[in-house]
Structure 1
Amino acid sequence: MSADEYGIDEGERIDEEVSRSDLVHERLRESPIKRWVLLDGNRYAIAGLFSLVVFVTCASIGFAGYIPVTDPGTATTLVAAIVGGTLPFITIVLAINQLVLSQELGWPGDLADRFEEMVAFRHEIESLTDTPVSPAAPADFLQLVVDSVVDRTERLEATADRMADPERAAVVRDFVEAVRTEGELVSESLEDSDFGTFATLSSVLGHFNGAHLYAARQIRTHYADELSSEDLETLDVLVELLGQLAIARQTFKTLYMQYELAHLSKVLLVVGFPTLLGGGIFMMTYSTIIETVGTPSVLVLIVSGVITFVFLPFTVLLVYTFRIASITSRTADFGPFVPRVDFEEKAGLEERRE
């Protein structure tokens, strides 16, 4: 990709990738099933599906004759191994609660500083968006910032119409269209979303990353000779808004992570105790169950059900960890740097040398 494609000289390279968010296009390209499993799906539903897979797998192996269900020693040994592996979950829960509490506890001075910083952040947003009082609800707050970003960007359409260079004008229009499209996607996702669910964070997950900020700064710097003072002011505010939007996204991600980890520890405790108790009862009574039932096919179903039940804490931890890890990986490019987009700056330098 050369700079000439956009009518930009060697000192004014704006790469094609900066006019859009790479993460947005990743979201559109990836499998909807994959995204549902990793991010958007209800964790209880996914845990149920995983449990069904475990049950079907165990039942298939049992019906194939590879599990001697009439031998009490084999089944109880397997269940005992899983139950023994469940005990360390107490340590996991304590570690999770300690992590959450470390973010919540603090001395008055620390809490006052944190409060003042949050108030200053809200005042900054109110100043940039010309809003007397910014919304308190996270979804409404994000909507305010996104609407302001889109509004400021759309003002550049008139700027593009005034530009003498049609290729430069095309770059600006592409940037405006990219921001407008992402704004529509975010607004649609934010409708009826409540904090405490994944909807609010998911709405801005992968949107408005550093590529937009980079593009706005490039336009502001390299097209300054064709921009009026009002256009320059619009771009300055737009750059600040995009930066504040990145901060807001990371802030709500932090709050959501605290909620998610606290909820995970509660679910693990609720699930872990019955599985320990049920596994212990099964190990003590399975010999009697064999004598009472007698039918191997029924015993296969019983053993498969018990294995699925005692495996449930691992399943819960798995599905929640999937989402937490996915959120972390997709918001790793916080700030003005965009590590996921190949800007081919090295190639641009080589062009200059030539």
Structure 2
Amino acid sequence: MGSSEADETLESYGADIGQRTDSATRVKEWILVDGDRLFIASLISLVVFLLFLSLNEIGFISFTNDDSITRLAGGMIAGTFSLVTLVVSINQLILSQEFASAGDARDQLEGVLNFRTNVAEAANVPASPASPSRLLELLVESNRSYARELAEAVSDYDDPETRELIVRYANTVEENADRVDETLEHTKFGTFKSVSAAIGYDAAWQLYIARNLHGRYEESLSDEALTKLDALINSLELFVTTREHFKTTYLQKELTRFSQLTIYTGVPAILSAMMIGFIYADLTGPTISAVYLPVVISALVAVVVLPLALLTGFILRTATVTRRTASVGPMLPQKDPDAGPFDVTDDTVDSGASNSNTNSNSG
């Protein structure tokens, strides 16, 4: 198997959070996922403030029409009330997920305890860590260990092409594990960096390859190699389950934080919109000098749009994370239907057909 074929064999179709190629991509990633959401919202509000000042400076807009500004203020008050009401509804929906009867709570606890026992057994440790970040780190280390042992187990395999494929796959798992482990060591759960590192670890694609390797070569691999491959598959499945649980927990915390910040900024936004109306309420015109009027009104509008800026910042990140982690296990919606090399079809039952289809798809 040539190097290009092997590269395509191990091509990832999964999450790409954390990958950087150029300055434009880094800026895009910072806006979508990496940047602090409150800072992003403040930046949007500042841009609105500067935009209104600039448009007034070039004469594109004016703050002298009492009727227009008053109608605008009324619309902003109504819109802010609607947004705050929507956020409160979202917060109530999140809280409803936390309500459970004694029986449901007991079942949930037993499920968590059983899962943690499975993790401890897979990683060969007395007990799994309590910290979510350390638990993910333990599973990553387990994946790396089993991948290394798998490569050693196939070192004497007869077919050099198959041996090279499995070894390259094992090396890829180790390299990805090293990269994620380095990030997780310096993070704590609750920060997006830890969630981003877990999402960036392409366990779904690794699981997809491992299961296909098992199905294609289980008749020819040694018992030791099959045991290591099964252990790696089990460890990857546990990692995917753990990551999905922690991702859900983090998104719940993120949306709850968004609800709190929206309430905190919603009251000043409504008051600012009312202030705009009061400034233009006098029959003789605005109560502020025309020299300072553009600055004051632009600043008040920037405060009014702050809840909307928060909504934009948080939805950008939650939507990006959800889209990039749409796959569950080896179900990969990012993968093109015609993309090789592990297309599972009816004519790949016998090993000869399997090898033929693998080579044709890789080309």
The TM-score normalised by the length of structure 2 is 0.86
Q: Determine the structure 1 residue equivalent to 2:14.
A: 23
Residue 218 to residue 119, structure 1, CA distance change in 2 (3 Å): same
Which ranges in structure 2 are unaligned for 5 or more consecutive residues? 349-355
Residue 219 to residue 6, structure 1, CA distance change in 2 (3 Å): farther
More off after superposition, 68-77 vs 88-97: 68-77
Which one of 262, 272, 289 corresponds to residue 293 of structure 1? Answer: 289
Q: Determine the structure 2 residue equivalent to 1:331.
A: 325
Q: Write out per-residue CA displacement over residues 103-149 of structure 1, whole angstroms, 9 at most, x where no aligned residue.
A: 11010001111111111110111111111111011000000001000
Report the Cα offset of residue 27 of structure 1: 4.8
Q: CA contact under 8 A between 1:206 and 1:330: conserved in structure 2?
A: no
Q: CA contact under 8 A between 1:150 and 1:183: conserved in structure 2?
A: yes
Q: Determine the structure 2 residue equivalent to 1:280.
A: 274
Q: Determine the structure 2 residue equivalent to 1:120.
A: 114
Give me the identity figure in percent. Answer: 31
Provide the rounded CA distance (Å) in 2 between the counterparts of 1:266 and 1:239.
41
Q: Determine the structure 1 residue equivalent to 2:31.
A: 37
Q: Residues 307-346 of structure 1: matches in 2 within 5 Å?
A: 307-342=301-336, 343-344=339-340, 345=343
**Coordinate RMSD, CA, aligned:** 2.6
Matched residue of 2:14: which SS?
Answer: helix
Report the Cα offset of residue 102 of structure 1: 1.8
Provide the rounded CA distance (Å) in 2 between the counterparts of 1:59 and 1:290.
17
Q: Write out per-residue CA displacement over residues 181-217 of structure 1, whole angstroms, 9 at most, x where no aligned residue.
A: 2112211221231222212211111323322112112
Q: Residues 12-91 of structure 1: matches in 2 within 5 Å?
A: 17=8, 19-23=10-14, 27-28=18-19, 31-91=25-85
Q: CA contact under 8 A between 2:262 and 2:307: conserved in structure 1?
A: yes
1:203 pairs with 2:194 = no
Provide the rounded CA distance (Å) in 2 between the counterparts of 1:67 and 1:221.
67
Matched residue of 1:205: which SS?
Answer: helix
Q: Determine the structure 1 residue equivalent to 2:234.
A: 240
Q: Determine the structure 2 residue equivalent to 1:137.
A: 131
User: What amino acid is the match of 1:334?
Assistant: V
Q: CA contact under 8 A between 1:68 and 1:74: conserved in structure 2?
A: no
User: What amino acid is the match of 1:167?
Assistant: E
User: What amino acid is the match of 1:57?
Assistant: L
Report the Cα offset of residue 24 of structure 1: 5.1
Q: CA contact under 8 A between 1:100 and 1:262: conserved in structure 2?
A: yes
Provide the rounded CA distance (Å) in 1 between the counterparts of 2:347 and 2:223.
31
Matched residue of 1:87: which SS?
Answer: helix
Which ranges in structure 1 are unaligned for 5 or more consecutive residues? 8-13
Provide the rounded CA distance (Å) in 2 between the counterparts of 1:254 and 1:26.
17
Matched residue of 1:293: which SS?
Answer: coil
More off after superposition, 105-114 vs 286-295: 286-295
Residue 281 to residue 154, structure 1, CA distance change in 2 (3 Å): same
Q: Determine the structure 1 residue equivalent to 2:97.
A: 103
The number of residue pairs the alignment matches comes to 342
Q: Determine the structure 2 residue equivalent to 1:11.
A: none
